[in-house]
Amino acid sequence: MRMRPTLNWFPDGDLPPGTSDWEPVAEALARGGALVLTGAGISTESGIPDYRGAGGSLSRHTPMTYQEFTADPQARRRYWARSHLGWRVFRRARPNSGHLAVAAFARQGLVSGLITQNVDGLHQAAGSENVVELHGSLDRVVCLTCGALAARSELAVRLTEANPHFAPVAAGINPDGDADLTDEQVGDFHVVPCAVCGGVLKPDVVFFGEAVPPQRVEQCRALVRDAASLLVLGSSLTVMSGLRFVREAARAQKPVLIVNRDPTRGDREATVRVALPLGQVLTDVADRLGVRVDDTRRPERPAGAPPGSG
């Protein structure tokens, strides 16, 4: 029996307090071998809201579950209308100082790997390589019938051609690229099928209520085993997909350092939680270590990932 997805977490009992001292983060990076795990909080300075922080999208929006998407054609219509509009905005986002700092740390050999729970592609746009996208990427779509992959940019062209007059004004954008639209704004939005077999298309992301592919989980576990420490950036660790790696690192007695202004579900396993704005901390740490965070390295985002990439 599949359990309901965990959307929120509330502290139960006393948690270790956060600190304003980011020196332990600098020390862990200076030793090398730090595995980085990022969440939605690293992308807020790029204009993409998080789920659970102050003003987070869960206060106004319930993400679609995998079960709803696969079972209800009308739910898919709502999703693709909202996602098609949101993706136009999403694609204009650019990496911020946090993404650039992580890429700079990797270039200096201080980071052993990067796992992101985000689906926005901003780490790659900042220059990070070999990123494990735990929850997939909005740059790809997959057919639930035949398994064919396609670039999201190709689907965007097809959806625009099928809905030439679709141009509502959204009330907001969510971390998964889903725009806030009413049912009236969705209207009779036309969903296009897979170009290969005519089946149902889904973004190549892990929806709430859907399991992360086992081989991807094992890839991340191997990174945890090989790492000297785990550095969590901008994640509440509410969902088990990320929290499990914190617990595994803690069981292996590896330092777990969290940078997140609000308490997280992993605080009890953490060596320390730095309760400061993420971009500020990473910029200060880079200065402390003499690592240049080069803003001129921000490339334009690619038009879309080719099928099978990522």
Tokens read off for 115: 């796992």
Tokens read off for 24: 């332990």
Q: How far apart are CA 70 and CA 200, in angstroms?
A: 9
**Is 137 labeled as ligand-binding?**
no
Q: Are 101 and 77 in contact (CB under 8 A)?
A: no
Q: Interhelix angle for 152-162 vs 73-90, to 10°?
A: 110
Place of tokens 């200060």: 284
Instruction: Enumerate the β-bridge partners of residue 116.
Output: 38, 133
**Is 249 labeled as ligand-binding?**
no
**Is 153 labeled as ligand-binding?**
no
**Is 45 labeled as ligand-binding?**
yes
**Is 43 labeled as ligand-binding?**
yes
Element (H, E) at 203: strand 201-205
**Is 51 labeled as ligand-binding?**
yes
**Is 119 labeled as ligand-binding?**
yes
Distance of CA 17 to the CA centre of its chain: 26
**Is 176 labeled as ligand-binding?**
no
**Is 59 labeled as ligand-binding?**
yes
Q: Are 34 and 110 in contact (CB under 8 A)?
A: yes
Catalytic residue numbers read 135
Question: Residues annotated as binding site?
Answer: 39-59, 117-120, 143, 146, 194, 197, 234-236, 278
Question: Residues annotated as binding site for Zn(2+)?
Answer: 143, 146, 194, 197
Question: Residues annotated as binding site for NAD(+)?
Answer: 39-59, 117-120, 234-236, 278
